[in-house]
Structure 1
Amino acid sequence: MKGPLFYSKILLFGEYGIIKDSKGLSIPYNFYNGALKVADVPTEASKNSNQNLRDFATFLGQLATGLVTFDLETLKKDIDAGMYFDSSIPQGYGVGSSGALVAAIYDKYAQDKITVLENLTREKLLKLKLIFSEMESFFHGKSSGLDPLNSYLSLPILINSKDNIEATGIPSQKTDGKGAVFLLDSGIIGETAPMVQIFMENMKQEGFRNMIKDQFIKHTDACVEDFLKGDFKSLFKNTKQLSKVVLHHFKPMIPKQFHDLWKQGIETNDYYLKLCGSGGGGYILGFTEDLEKAKQALKGHKLEVVYNF
């Protein structure tokens, strides 16, 4: 048995902001993926994953939601047969490892599921997002449901606000373009829950709340609009502002050894860094108008290109 592939995702813009109704833009990232499989010869990893699925199935059985029911009998039978989630998506890296798993389980075991082939109205998208947020809460405590949605649909998703999301198109890539969005590997595994906890604590302070509204959300929204319009000149201006705001106000989410690199990018304009997901480790997102320059400036670090301008 081998199920369909579900891809990782990258939230280009909107981390933390979407909790407070900023815009957001999430795109599938096909470099990593995962699928449900049954192991011929169980390995340590497949056994761990199988146990994880068993716990998840128990959780789904107790999920008192009127939105979705699962064929739990088949799910449990498959788990007993040794099913696991075979995934190349790194965990704790902000690229949606639990999202792909949630999407795969919904796809295979949800009854009366909403499929990618039907006309995806806003209502259906929101319903899916809600179902996924309840399912994914097993992994994170609190989830927006956006990662599984992105993985399930394999389409870019534009978040206008909490209850207004739509599948969208993004400008096609220029493979020979000098500019790029890239991932920088921090070499540390990030934990989502503690980072979100810090953010929620900070939100109790009026000064922080105002900064989120007047600076963070303003620049995030502008970045989303620039990217979708393909106005890359303006995009880099706004990304620089966003990078500054994050460096000043989200320090705990940036691994210490990257504080200087972050500052260096803003000062030299060779690249701008921002959080990829909740931060605290995992990947850091980079934006540059000149990839070769950025590679020079970030020598010794592994860069993975996500999108070319």
Structure 2
Amino acid sequence: MPNLSYPSKVLLFGEYTIIQNSAALAIPYAHYQSYWSDHPLSKDWENTIKPAFSKQSLQKIAVDLQSLQYPLLNLKQFKEDLKNGLWLCTNSPMGYGLGSSGTVCAAIYDRYAIHKTTNLQLLKQELACLEHSFHGKSSGIDPLIAYNKRPLWVHSDASIESVELPSLQKLTFFLIDTQLPRVSTPLIHFFVESCKNASFENAFVQPTSRAVDDAIHALMTNNSSSLMQAIHLISKLQFAYLPPMIPESMHALWKKGLASNEFYLKICGAGGGGFMLGVTRNWEAVKQHFHSFKTLQLL
């Protein structure tokens, strides 16, 4: 593995409510990552996209980035390197909620930015500008995680803090592979339209935002009891108010977790497929429930 690589991200807390300016906590996840290459891959690297598709996509991105209002990148060098065979390798599954487009933005910025900044707020804006130019609306969080390679706490006032997570000795966070790639755009549209309804705002957005804030503070202070209480509420509210985001194959397990309090499930990223996120006090006892799914321990 090369030294200069860009990890995927997992949004632990704040999925969807971050659109409504709630707090959020995201972490880098180096199990899946991307890096630049101009030569064939080693046999032990499980690439998820073909070199030809990567090159074609990057060439389109290079064209799209010409629409930026001010010159963030050395696009001339970018296009020249692509012409000479450069491409971006990745083992990250597409459409799984891991911020795959964010790693692309981070890699492009890191290699071709004309003037790099270390200010997190400005860096987030510049990376969001890159992602927005070829990927639609972007908060900049995904590429910021991939570029910064450290957990980020986004506060409700939009300020950003790079943090170190405490050791979670009593809890295990894990990913469940639904084996269902999804497209996030219609899911985001569903949420945005739902937010126009005052009852949805009152019944889901506000209590979930408070629970997200409680969960982050509990995690950062290593209060496992309060953390599980907050996650229980988030899981319950997501199941009740975000039906398109939860695949049918997860319904029985989702309800089993809520009823037994042995584990809780929540959306990872946009949901609708890809990975779901689980939390438990006793992974050895509950992993039997997920024998039909591929799981990955996260924290």
1:82 aligns with 2:85: yes
**1:192-211 mapped onto 2 (5 Å cutoff):** 192-211=184-203
Name the aligned partner's letter for residue 97 of structure 1. Answer: S
Name the aligned partner's letter for residue 136 of structure 1. Answer: E
Distance 1:83 1:280 in 2: 33
Distance 1:213 1:10 in 2: 21
TM-fit CA distance, 1:107: 0.2
Aligned twin of 1:117: none
Distance 1:249 1:71 in 2: 45
1:281 aligns with 2:273: yes
Select which of 140, 145, 168 maps to 2:140: 145
Greater CA drift, 235-244 or 129-138 = 129-138
Aligned twin of 2:153: 158
1:101 aligns with 2:104: yes
**1:91-240 mapped onto 2 (5 Å cutoff):** 91-114=94-117, 120=118, 124-161=119-156, 163-174=158-169, 179-240=171-232
Work out whether residues 72 and 113 of structure 2, in 8 Å CA contact, stay in contact via their aligned partners in 1: yes
Name the aligned partner's letter for residue 247 of structure 1. Answer: F
CA RMSD of aligned residues (A): 1.7
Distance 2:11 2:21 in 1: 15
Greater CA drift, 204-213 or 275-284 = 204-213
Q: Between Structure 1 and Structure 2, how many residues are aligned?
A: 292
Distance 2:121 2:6 in 1: 20
Q: Where in structure 1 are there 5+ consecutive unaligned residues?
A: 115-119
Aligned twin of 2:54: 49
1:260 aligns with 2:265: no
Distance 2:297 2:268 in 1: 14
Greater CA drift, 51-60 or 292-301 = 292-301
The normalised TM-score by structure 2 is 0.93
TM-fit CA distance, 1:82: 1.6
Distance 2:253 2:137 in 1: 31
Name the aligned partner's letter for residue 167 of structure 2. Answer: S
Name the aligned partner's letter for residue 79 of structure 1. Answer: L
Query: CA 1:6–1:149 in 2, change beyond 3 Å: closer, same or farther?
Result: same
Distance 2:3 2:164 in 1: 27
Distance 1:139 1:184 in 2: 29
Distance 2:205 2:289 in 1: 32
1:23 aligns with 2:23: yes
Q: Where in structure 2 are there 5+ consecutive unaligned residues?
A: 42-46
Query: CA 1:224–1:210 in 2, change beyond 3 Å: closer, same or farther?
Result: same
User: What stretches of structure 1 move > 4 A for 4+ residues in a row?
Assistant: none
Q: What percent identity do the matched residue pairs reach?
A: 35
- Deviations 1:185-226, CA, capped at 9 Å, x for gaps: 010002121111110111111111112343111111111111
TM-fit CA distance, 1:163: 2.7
Distance 1:107 1:61 in 2: 17
TM-fit CA distance, 1:63: 1.3
Distance 1:3 1:78 in 2: 20
Work out whether residues 140 and 193 of structure 1, in 8 Å CA contact, stay in contact via their aligned partners in 2: no
Distance 2:3 2:227 in 1: 39
- Deviations 1:77-129, CA, capped at 9 Å, x for gaps: 11111211100111111111111111000000010112xxxxx4xxx211111
Name the aligned partner's letter for residue 25 of structure 2. Answer: L
SS in 2 for 1:296: helix
Work out whether residues 73 and 112 of structure 2, in 8 Å CA contact, stay in contact via their aligned partners in 1: yes
Work out whether residues 18 and 162 of structure 1, in 8 Å CA contact, stay in contact via their aligned partners in 2: no
Aligned twin of 2:13: 13
TM-fit CA distance, 1:244: 0.3
Distance 2:77 2:125 in 1: 24
